[in-house]
A and B are shown apart, each in its own frame.
Chain A
């Protein structure tokens, strides 16, 4: 498709279960980001991919969170043993190139995956 695609759009899970969230970036975009947005909060950076490698994973809140990217395209964010505080909207974004730069550094966001942990 033309934009960033995320699935599922909504996920309700029980505390302690594992969840996987998927992101399909814009074709040709080498940089891919995961952010988390909780109610009333700003976008919280989680991890950044350049190609298949993750040079910056400093935002992952705990070792329950992991992410991978394959083929320089699709990315999966996995949350193990979910907790109620993990409830949030998880946003994926891609850009032509990392860092700033007119025409290349803009992030294009997907619609997000809303996670609710009961």
Chain B
């Protein structure tokens, strides 16, 4: 089966840096996505990793270690609007086209 684990909730201060971890156990691997979902809205794409290493995009970076089944999303210079749920999702490949999502990490940014 597929299993994706993320912390349920996190709190961080405006202007700070926060790291949201994701660990996965899947039957295969063909890429990992991070999505942002504000309350009551649709998830929106943030990042994609398929090779080991760090992908940087503005204030957001995402890291992947395939051997450890581990990823993290790094958010810098936090803003109040970054308060949202962050969803880790994995394509297991091997003939399956399901994108399996974790339950998400609810991030609250406080002044």
Query: A residues within 8 Å of B by Cβ?
Result: 4, 31, 33, 35, 40-43, 45, 48, 50, 55-56, 58-59, 91, 98-102, 105-112
Given A41-B103, A111-B41, A105:B48 Cβ within 8 A: yes
Give the interface SS of chain B, mostly helix, strand, loop or mixed.
loop
Decide yes or no whether B33 CB sits under 8 A from chain A. yes
Measured in the bound complex, the distance between the Cα atoms of B93 and A43 in whole Å is 18
B residues touching A (Cβ–Cβ < 8 Å)? Answer: 4, 30-31, 33, 41-45, 48, 50, 87, 89, 91, 93, 96-104
Please tell me if the beta carbons of B42 and A102 are within 8 angstroms of each other in the complex.
no
Residue of B48, B50, B100, B103 touching A106 (CB-CB under 8 A): B48
In chain B, what residue has the closest Cβ to A4?
A: B42
Question: Can you name 25 A-B residue pairings with CB atoms under 8 Å?
Answer: A4-B42, A31-B97, A35-B101, A40-B103, A42-B4, A42-B87, A42-B104, A45-B98, A45-B101, A48-B97, A48-B98, A50-B97, A59-B98, A99-B91, A100-B48, A100-B50, A100-B93, A105-B31, A105-B33, A107-B43, A108-B45, A109-B42, A109-B43, A109-B44, A112-B42
